[in-house]
Structure 1
Amino acid sequence: MPSKPPVRYDPSVETVASDEQETLAGLKDSFREILETTSQDYGHAVRAVHAKAHGIARGMLTISADLPHEFAQGIFATPGEHEAILRISTNAGDILDDSISLPRGLALKILDVAGARLPGSDGATTQDFIMVNGPAFAAADAKAFSKNLKLLSKTTDKFEGVKKAMSATFRVVEAALEAVGGQSSTLQTLGGAKPVHPLGETYYSQTPLRYGDYIAKIALFPVSPSLTRLTGDMVDITARPDALREVVREELIEHGGAWELRVQLNTDLEAMPIEDASVVWDEAESPFVTVATLTVEPQISWEQGVTDRTDDALVYSIWNGVSAHQPLGGVNRARKDTYALSANFRGKFNGCPVHQPASLAELA
């Protein structure tokens, strides 16, 4: 439990920058440039971020009973089971060879949830959480996020050979930094991330969200032995463009897996800021507490010609969900319209409107 009482949510915890709309316009331009570039090159529209999926799996999320009041909030206030679907990905907006080693993402869609909806997600009954295998966002605020994305948009779907060479170099530099207790989110974002097995990783929301009466970050921790034995395991990515998709498929067919969804409550707005997404919240002051378990039975996580159609039909956004889990902070506000832009572009270009499923049975 937290060492101090959690901070209660109030709209005043957010501070909107005076030039936020200008920053948002720049982000939209970068998203649009990435989308137009990749769709013309591939003849098919993919996501502007996290374009390449390494696996899609169906599971069941079980919300714990008898949670303490501070943790029994929003969709987690009522114990029970919910169908869920997860998507494992890499953060780039183009489809890259896995030898270009980048941070991994995991998007979780929880089905059949009740509650007042966030603007733009009316009519749906799903809750999305988007997470990455690192505790903090690579940019402090929306302006820094826009600057980073603008840089990446200029190299989208270009110079793959150079990217491979740079990635190998950055991995060496990042490993040297970590050997002396350091780390560089910039190097990791540019290709210096370790080629770790995606199923052994812990995935974090990185940015804060409303948690009913409180404020929190969430994370998904692997807990079944089949997953924890993969933590830190390096994947051989040499001459294997889809190595991560292959190893995820092998493991989920053989073992499936189980994760715990955990919540970290905000206990100090200065030490755990809302508007600086690059700050790691101290787990010694407020540890992650388990509120639900995600179970995935053994299954095929990727089947060419089948799973890719499912991937096309699905859309994830941190702004798809209930008001009790409203995303907070400038980075999250910037992701609202940009993620919608990406989804709408994909649906129009591919002639396959994306939608929110009411049940797993609706998915291909």
Structure 2
Amino acid sequence: MQLKKLELGKEYPITGEIAGIKEIEQISIDALKQSFPDNIRPVLRDAHPKHHGCVRAEFIIDEGIPQELKAGIFKHPRTFTAAIRFSNNKAVDDTKKDVRGMAIKLFGVEGEKLLERQKQEKTQDLLLINHPVFFIKDVQDYVEFFRARQLAKGNLPLKFFFLNPNPFKWHLREFIIGMVMLNKKVNSPLVIQYWSSTPYKLGDRAIKFTAVPSSQNPTPAVIQTPDYLRQAMIEHLNHQDASFDFLIQLQTDPQKMPIEDPRIEWKSPFQKVATIKIPRQQFTVPQQMEFCENLSFTPWHSLPEHQPLGGVNRARKQVYEALAELRHNLNNIVVKEPTEEDFLTLWNKLM
């Protein structure tokens, strides 16, 4: 069978995708309501509910970036103020196997944004996890996964991976990716690498991105407690700064580096475009933790030049927006992007 000729940077939605995304949204809403009846507040996120903390950072765009990479936030050298939220995907106990996340919110980003209700906001989100690929191929598989997760009631949804009567339809590749993601050793959120795992636009090109910790970030000894990752960050930032290099890779082959299958790792070289500097600070004062809890992150808090690409990201647009709206409403909080002034005023007051 002849493979369909793909084009660089182009999306190829599958049949039935809109209905599939709507089903994922409804399953997610129902699950959140069931997890948080009226007597349990605050309502936490469906994904990455436990944050180790949000830290104040600088996102410094490099000088001398190649011309082909100069788009959106990378168009000119400058420094953005950033809030960075480090988190677990599911586990409340840091000693449990889990995927770890790094969500970056840049402030002072001019230009209309993609979300209709937030066009004039001045933030740009960059979402990363500590694995280079994702374990779901497309919206059809995402629907199957959410159905299986709903039946599993919080347990590992083995029905998605193995219980099809036809072994040729087992999701063995997805299971292996998921197990690798869950079994990574993490001593501190400040010493591990993070990846976008899904693709994004960079102008008229497609990219993925990664954040690589500096070799100067010390690796702490691990004392296994339910909050050891937060404690590692506290001890680190009490005494010294932390930093990451931010790199991007271009899609150079639409077949070998597909937009619509984030299970496949791209093999083009990464190029450094920015430095993330996290100064010494305190970040666990109750007001800071509350601010962090009330933030919402989505890859669609974005300039058009950095539009999320692929079916998984298209699903995230609708589902993340619906869940953020529901969570904030149940917590009696208005859904609104914070300003740079809001963020810095709080952090400076508590330093």
With structure 1 as the length reference, what TM-score do the two structures score?
0.82
2:203 maps to 1:205: no
Shift of 1:193: 3.9
Return the match for 1:235 from 204, 222, 227. 222
Equivalence for 1:60: 58
Equivalence for 2:164: none
2:76 maps to 1:78: yes
Return closer, same or farther for 1:203/1:57 CA change in 2, 3 Å cut-off.
same
Return closer, same or farther for 1:244/1:295 CA change in 2, 3 Å cut-off.
same
Partner AA of 1:254 in structure 2: H
Return closer, same or farther for 1:315/1:76 CA change in 2, 3 Å cut-off.
same
Shift of 1:344: 0.5
2:284 maps to 1:287: no
CA contact 1:271–1:281 (8 Å) conserved in 2:
yes
CA contact 1:212–1:324 (8 Å) conserved in 2:
yes
Q: Specify the SS of the correspondent of 2:246.
A: strand
Equivalence for 2:99: 103
- 2:46 and 2:345 mapped to 1: Cα distance? 25
Shift of 1:81: 0.9
- 1:235 and 1:147 mapped to 2: Cα distance? 37
Shift of 1:257: 0.5
Shift of 1:67: 1.0
Return the match for 1:260 from 238, 241, 245. 245
Q: 1:269-296 deviations in whole A, cap 9, x for unaligned?
A: 00100000110001xxx21111111111
CA contact 1:61–1:83 (8 Å) conserved in 2:
yes
Return the match for 1:309 from 268, 290, 307. 290
CA contact 2:8–2:205 (8 Å) conserved in 1:
yes
2:210 maps to 1:225: no
Equivalence for 1:273: 258
Return the match for 1:358 from 331, 336, 339. 339
Shift of 1:339: 0.4
Equivalence for 1:113: 109
- 2:302 and 2:346 mapped to 1: Cα distance? 19
Equivalence for 1:244: 229
Return closer, same or farther for 1:37/1:155 CA change in 2, 3 Å cut-off.
farther
Partner AA of 2:114 in structure 1: L
| Identical amino acids, percent of aligned pairs | 29
2:311 maps to 1:326: no
- 2:134 and 2:221 mapped to 1: Cα distance? 23
Equivalence for 1:166: none
Equivalence for 1:140: 137
With structure 2 as the length reference, what TM-score do the two structures score?
0.85
Unpaired segments of 5 or more residues in structure 1? 1-6, 164-182
Q: Specify the SS of the correspondent of 1:184.
A: helix
Return closer, same or farther for 1:151/1:8 CA change in 2, 3 Å cut-off.
closer
Return closer, same or farther for 1:144/1:302 CA change in 2, 3 Å cut-off.
farther
Corresponding pairs, count: 320
Shift of 1:25: 2.0
2:322 maps to 1:341: yes
CA contact 2:55–2:283 (8 Å) conserved in 1:
yes
Matches within 5 A, 1:122-141: 122-141=119-138
Shift of 1:129: 0.7
2:71 maps to 1:88: no
- 2:207 and 2:216 mapped to 1: Cα distance? 28
Partner AA of 1:146 in structure 2: V
Return closer, same or farther for 1:42/1:245 CA change in 2, 3 Å cut-off.
farther
CA contact 1:14–1:329 (8 Å) conserved in 2:
yes
Partner AA of 2:322 in structure 1: L
Q: 1:235-294 deviations in whole A, cap 9, x for unaligned?
A: 343xx2222121122112222201111110110100100000110001xxx211111111
RMSD: 2.3
- 1:147 and 1:98 mapped to 2: Cα distance? 28
Partner AA of 2:318 in structure 1: D
Partner AA of 2:237 in structure 1: L
Q: Specify the SS of the correspondent of 1:199.
A: coil
Unpaired segments of 5 or more residues in structure 2? 1-6, 157-174
Of the structure 1 ranges 305-314 and 52-61, higher mean CA displacement relative to structure 2 is found in 305-314
